[in-house]
Structure 1
């Protein structure tokens, strides 16, 4: 996932008051990376926890309920693959009594982490038991056709026999993949798997008391941070540096997102404009099993990514497994693909502009990948320029703003992009951890486009993208179409590391959820997402994606609507001056699309029902929820969902033109 910073924007009111010293993040969270141990002791650890609690949107103290979450997270920090503990080993921590939770909560608040040391000791015993169990397992007789899906949402097993079976099946999956390499590379790959396991166990069994204590405290901090909510996280110093690479959006590599499937790293998405995208050889769903001849099966994803990255203009050879053929004729083939590394700017293509002729004019199409701003450009400036250009050269009859796969970005740019389509008014309100509500407004009185507007979304349109979609929907300024709802991230986070700073805190850094954001209606997209006015499914519409599927999401909330903006959050000495320039062109709440909605829904339903490609696509989609972006291309259309959005816009333009003629 991508991370973005807050940046000041001179033509927006009051954006720096709350966030002067910390980065504002409006984006989905990413997994943490393994790293060197931070400089921690018990008192420093408790101090970090208190800092996070003082800033957090809702969790203000360590209480027994929160301690239950922390214990479960800590167990998973120690045994993420659930191949060491059995349920009986950890029952008192998995299902603790109220009295026990109260006791260890009081100890925790005194920087006494005895319970966590006991769990750690249980883990060392579990490692020793696994060594004994592995002597009993017949690794020469491995099960066949083991699938990665078996290991999704695993629970701890109840018996040692079940534990042996899980270990055996994971090994079978790894060996099956390694067997597709040459014999030498197969051996190397299996050796690496064993070496990685041994390295992890060695770290946990380290007899150096100081190192062991730092490891325990690091895992306590990680478990505590992630117990506060799904987006709060603690970073070791090395992890913090990696996080900033993501924030700064620049690295040298191939531009591919990967998923660790135990039997290699599956390509889930290619970054548009990146080296892999431009080469046209690597495909989504390819499974990488070696890099420059070095096997990566069993390797930590961080190490695998480091092998793929490298100096600009140097080649990297990826050995991949690709499925070819259809259904019963499917088979796997091994390919070596050479890609020349280049700079990958994770902003992807930033935006795309095109149009489709319609009648005596055009339907304009704007796709925004992220909400960005740098010294040379911004998402609002670029879209404004492109729209003005289209208006000069063509008769624009309608605009489609595509926010699918847009997972967020700068809050100020969400405000600015919304301002291209509305008059003055509140765009988003922020309520921080103290309960203070601040309104971010559009104060640009000139709309770049005031005609028919459709916003296309899917289940991973998130955060800043949800602000734009829901605000335009609140004002009745746009119809929201596509998947039934968006991601549902209505919270914002701050990060303690400043991008320009050379020094990372040796004790580690953290990002913490500071509060929620709300659109002008007073609603937050938290959990529910933005609900589409007209639904027509896309590739992710059957996927379990969204904030509601996360481990500890913030609950829903609401504040009072702010359509009639009283400017109460503006200092009194500035309020009257702002009022004079602002209130005369305030954006009204519109109902212009309401009269057309039923007809538009009926037309869309009829088209989808009679579109054979779409019907085939929907049937296949229900069979397979774990969809990879790009699969819709198998159904004879590059983008079935966009095609329907264009048809809807044509319907809307025709209906609105007919109403105007009738009124005249």
Structure 2
């Protein structure tokens, strides 16, 4: 029955995503107009809360779009804006008639202003900044007016670049000041002592040396340091403009389309073809290719990281730092140089279907050139998947599962997904005879709705998990129908402000059933909506215009089984623990255009019957928190972080800047011991991972780092304290073999 339910749900989703929009024919020969036509139609017909395309809508899109194009107000002039304003209340009409006039005007003007700015910033950075002048900068750029002249534009660039460079300048001064004590020591050294110091400096790895460390007797003047600071800023801007100049019209049109669709709600988004591919990888945690992370710098594609377990890792002939000069397919076609090519285009050449091969011409780290043939395969991103550990506390063994996301294969649900992985980790942990489980959903932004329904079913006998409501107000209760339970022992769920969507569904369901205690931030993110992803190519017959990308849009709101919503309100923790973001405006309620909060009738469900120890565990937890010096310091740090983030006025006079910076640094010192916090807990990998780590040193290093982080995590420590307080099941072993199939 459970499998039939999944098939039915998937069929309904596919029908909604493809069949319901086939009544209309889309065949505009202009790709951009066709895209606009498709997106407007889908949102008007399929969005949960469609918007009226009117003048108010137009003005909102206008403001959002220009803010995205020029957030620092250092491209467009006031005269440009005056010209654009003719379209301020016309965008809705242009959408209805598929008119691209506004986009074409802004796009052409933006490219012109970007080209002008490249000359401008290089000219500004060619001249020294005077850090003795008493002037300030306001970094609340939304309050800035657009400039009226080239002189004002130059001054805006000068001010902003001076602000960027003063930080570099201070870093260089600080580095040099740190050598002063060494220099003073050098003055009193004998020749033999100096030669020994010089020899030690030469033996340091190249990466550990700085230009100033070659000879502790040499010191640079302030003017030399100022010039070096500008050079650093110039290098950073050159890299930024390399990226900007790689963007084509399709990329900029996607920005315009997203300014439009974002007015419907924060989670409606147009994915250009390359963005859709990245979304699929993020959702599934896997792709087909060679297993290397790449970056482009100075026109050259360089390997940043070899992904553990991938083809390149298994072959062990490629390393981080190698440069890829050419790419050749295994079909006999000539090699293609990728030097100067857009990174996205280079990646397309390197990636490919499992079973095919690619030949890469590499410039190795040592300077040698060689051709390397690699067979492509499925690459899994280990950091995306669930992982588990055991820990001993008060002679009891507990389990910890970290779940970064509710991942699922976009083309086949029965392939690897978060629910089946968590189930497997629980089964492995039970073999280690754990007496309680922590499920860590911190920073888990959600994912597949189906996986969270299946995952919630691992902890209850049967019953509703979440309620969803469509545009017409029709309610549906999504249930776990399998009576088997994978884990019936004590359960604690860790959350924070970035636990969203599917994370909130799971936390809310377990809270409503009184199946688990939720520990963490005051509330979770507050995303109570469901999205689907529509491949826009399905809507165009005989498409000859290339890949149209995909549209993610909101189709439902979801509700707790008690009738409440997590929209805006999130899930309130049973035990609120201070964190460093407690005073910062995060979450759905601080997004643009969120859907409103509301309630519906509760579903019928039966509360878990083994929760008698909950209130005692909560009371004990709050008593510990009140005495915990680490958490008190975290709360003070959170207030300090809020104060720093709210600051928007900075002096560009170095002495004043340095005084303020020194004050901040002095204040920050009281929080340095936060990083020194250690528990007396030791975390261990499970036997199957220990076997894997014999051959995989990368996995071993990642687990060592994770276990160290867990041992310094005051939130995990408190979660384990709560587990220790909770009353266990009547008989843990009775469900060991009663596992969902």
Q: Which bin holds the TM-score, normalised by the shorter protein?
A: 0.5 to 0.7
Q: Tell me by how many angstroms 1:648 deviates.
A: 1.7
CA distance in 2, matches of 1:257, 1:609: 47
Please state whether the residue corresponding to 1:532 is helix, strand or coil: coil
Q: Tell me by how many angstroms 1:527 deviates.
A: 1.8
2:216 matches 1:142:
no
2:383 matches 1:348:
yes
2:299 matches 1:225:
no
Match of 1:523 among 559, 564, 576: 564
After TM superposition, the structure 1 = structure 2 runs for residues 394-473 of structure 1, keeping only pairs within 5 Å, are 394=433, 396-473=434-511
Residue matched to 2:43: 52
Give 5+ residue unaligned stretches, structure 2. 19-28, 173-209, 212-226, 298-303, 314-320, 326-339, 352-357, 366-375, 646-671, 680-711, 732-741
Match of 1:383 among 418, 422, 428: 422
2:146 matches 1:110:
no
CA distance in 1, matches of 2:478, 2:118: 58
Q: CA RMSD in A?
A: 5.3
After TM superposition, the structure 1 = structure 2 runs for residues 231-270 of structure 1, keeping only pairs within 5 Å, are 231-250=267-286
Match of 1:646 among 713, 720, 726: 720
Q: Structure 2 length normalisation: TM-score?
A: 0.60
CA distance in 2, matches of 1:554, 1:624: 29
Deviation digits for residues 18-38 of structure 1 (CA, Å, limit 9, x no counterpart): 3115779xxxxxxxxxxxxx9
2:75 matches 1:62:
no
Give the 3 Å change call, closer, same or farther, for CA 273–647 of structure 1 in structure 2. Answer: farther
Flag the structure with higher helix content.
2
Please state whether the residue corresponding to 1:408 is helix, strand or coil: coil
2:9 matches 1:20:
no
CA distance in 2, matches of 1:382, 1:554: 32
Q: Tell me by how many angstroms 1:106 deviates.
A: 3.7
CA distance in 2, matches of 1:292, 1:177: 28
CA distance in 1, matches of 2:360, 2:678: 36
Structure possessing the higher relative contact order (Cα contacts under 8 Å, 6 or more residues apart):
1
Match of 2:573 among 529, 532, 535: 532
Give the 3 Å change call, closer, same or farther, for CA 313–77 of structure 1 in structure 2. Answer: same
Q: Tell me by how many angstroms 1:640 deviates.
A: 0.7
Q: Tell me by how many angstroms 1:509 deviates.
A: 2.9
Give 5+ residue unaligned stretches, structure 1. 1-7, 25-37, 205-210, 261-266, 279-289, 319-340, 564-586, 658-664
Deviation digits for residues 222-243 of structure 1 (CA, Å, limit 9, x no counterpart): 3212222222122333433444
Give the 3 Å change call, closer, same or farther, for CA 361–518 of structure 1 in structure 2. Answer: same
Give the 3 Å change call, closer, same or farther, for CA 447–141 of structure 1 in structure 2. Answer: same
Residue matched to 2:633: 616
Is the contact made by 1:613 and 1:636 (CA closer than 8 Å) also made in structure 2? Answer: no
Give the 3 Å change call, closer, same or farther, for CA 9–91 of structure 1 in structure 2. Answer: farther
Q: Structure 1 length normalisation: TM-score?
A: 0.66
2:677 matches 1:635:
yes
Give the 3 Å change call, closer, same or farther, for CA 313–517 of structure 1 in structure 2. Answer: farther
Q: Tell me by how many angstroms 1:217 deviates.
A: 5.7
Is the contact made by 1:157 and 1:163 (CA closer than 8 Å) also made in structure 2? Answer: no
2:643 matches 1:605:
no
Give the 3 Å change call, closer, same or farther, for CA 383–121 of structure 1 in structure 2. Answer: closer
CA distance in 2, matches of 1:556, 1:271: 45
Q: Tell me by how many angstroms 1:175 deviates.
A: 9.7
Q: Tell me by how many angstroms 1:561 deviates.
A: 1.3
Greater mean alpha carbon deviation, residues 523-532 or residues 632-641: 632-641
Give the 3 Å change call, closer, same or farther, for CA 226–257 of structure 1 in structure 2. Answer: farther
CA distance in 2, matches of 1:150, 1:594: 55
Q: Tell me by how many angstroms 1:546 deviates.
A: 1.8
CA distance in 1, matches of 2:52, 2:68: 22
CA distance in 2, matches of 1:423, 1:651: 23
CA distance in 2, matches of 1:561, 1:362: 37
Give the 3 Å change call, closer, same or farther, for CA 534–190 of structure 1 in structure 2. Answer: same
CA distance in 2, matches of 1:643, 1:118: 57
CA distance in 1, matches of 2:635, 2:431: 40
CA distance in 2, matches of 1:355, 1:132: 58
After TM superposition, the structure 1 = structure 2 runs for residues 297-376 of structure 1, keeping only pairs within 5 Å, are 345-346=380-381, 348=383, 350-357=385-392, 361-373=396-408, 375=414
Give the 3 Å change call, closer, same or farther, for CA 61–305 of structure 1 in structure 2. Answer: farther
Is the contact made by 2:285 and 2:382 (CA closer than 8 Å) also made in structure 1? Answer: yes
